[in-house]
């Protein structure tokens, strides 16, 4: 059975789904189902794959592809994933995708709200709740992974990236910056293929993947996601019918999210940029790339 030899390790909301989809189209690359999180053994969520046989089964359909990969966005935040991956595959290649930390936090919060994992609709309120949540307080009932609510911690990239550089060596880690990927997808994709040492002349269909969405009416969304309401409706109508109407109403209650640069409160954005200025400067030094524009643009 084939085993993975490269990993997209995060971060969240940094276009990992797009990269995963584009790489999957390459004839020399096999991509397993996204978000298994098998090596994030210090994080606990019911949907994470914990059984090794089940994990390896994700690659059972791989053939003679040169590269076998998987993508799990919390591997970057996990303190154990890097060493666990190294133990499993010493010569693994690592792809890290990073985004302006302020935008990442904002879009992750919006993502969590949309999927019912976040009950604090106001972004600033959710940020201020982080200290309590680390103590196990104010945790939403439907949250899938508590650490996914630690917005500030997830955005502190420097130590997370350094962990992978220390474990795998700079030559085996490829860092993709979201802005560059968004603005010139073919160029960054080609560089990614070169890093993976596969045919870099292949070009996939660069369609929009996993677009950011937000809720129109939050009260309706909470009603649709309420487990008690769902159970009650299942006693009145069949579950398939309830799911059909739930999906239909969810689609009607969904709109494409606006760019964080324009939709976030400007004063909050400036405060967060100032807060993360030192972090971004440290990351810039680590990568040898000037990313300080992240904390200067409004």
| CATH number for the domain that contains residue 139 | 3.40.50.300
Asked whether the beta carbons of 203 and 189 are under 8 A apart, the reply is yes
Q: What pLDDT shows up at residue 87?
A: 98
Residues 289, 170 within the same domain: yes
Residue 35: inside a domain, yes or no? yes
Strand partners, 94: 7, 173
Q: What pLDDT shows up at residue 140?
A: 93
Residue 261: inside a domain, yes or no? no
Q: What pLDDT shows up at residue 120?
A: 95
Residues 198, 245 within the same domain: no
How are beta strands 67-71 and 6-8 bridged, if at all? parallel
Domain extent at residue 247? 213-256
Residues 153, 197 within the same domain: yes
- Structural domain tally of the chain? 2
Q: What pLDDT shows up at residue 5?
A: 97
Residues 218, 206 within the same domain: no
Element (H, E) at 282: helix 277-287
Residues in the chain with pLDDT values less than 70: 209-227, 229, 232-234, 236, 238, 242-246, 249-262, 297-298
Residues 96, 153 within the same domain: yes
Q: What pLDDT shows up at residue 142?
A: 85
């Amino acid at each position: 059975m084939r085993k993975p030899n490269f990993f997209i390790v995060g971060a969240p909301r940094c276009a990992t789904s797009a990269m995963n989809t584009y790489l999957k189209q390459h004839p020399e690359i096999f991509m397993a189902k996204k978000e298994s999180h098998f090596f994030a053994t210090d994080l606990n969520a019911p949907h994470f794959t914990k059984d090794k046989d089940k994990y390896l089964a994700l690659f059972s359909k791989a053939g003679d592809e040169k590269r076998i990969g998987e993508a799990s966005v919390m591997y970057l935040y996990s303190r154990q994933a890097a060493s666990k991956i190294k133990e499993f595959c010493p010569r693994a290649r690592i792809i890290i995708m990073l985004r302006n930390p302020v935008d990442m936090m904002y879009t992750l919060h919006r993502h969590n709200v949309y999927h019912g994992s976040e009950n604090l609709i106001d972004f600033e309120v959710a940020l201020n709740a982080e200290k309590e949540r680390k103590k196990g307080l104010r945790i939403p009932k439907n949250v899938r992974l508590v650490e996914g609510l630690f917005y500030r911690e997830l955005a502190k990239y420097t130590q997370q990236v350094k962990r992978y550089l220390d474990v795998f060596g700079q030559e085996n880690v490829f860092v993709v910056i979201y802005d560059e990927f968004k603005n010139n997808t073919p160029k960054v994709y080609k560089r990614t293929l070169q890093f993976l040492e596969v045919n870099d002349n292949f070009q996939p269909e660069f369609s929009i993947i996993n677009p950011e969405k937000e809720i129109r009416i939050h009260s309706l969304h909470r009603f649709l996601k309420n487990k008690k309401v769902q159970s009650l409706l299942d006693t009145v109508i069949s579950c398939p019918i309830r799911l059909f109407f739930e999906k239909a109403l969810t689609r009607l209650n969904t709109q494409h999210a606006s760019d964080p640069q324009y939709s976030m409160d400007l004063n909050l954005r400036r405060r967060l940029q100032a807060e993360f200025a030192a972090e971004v400067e440290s990351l810039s030094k680590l990568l040898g790339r000037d990313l300080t524009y992240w904390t200067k643009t409004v």
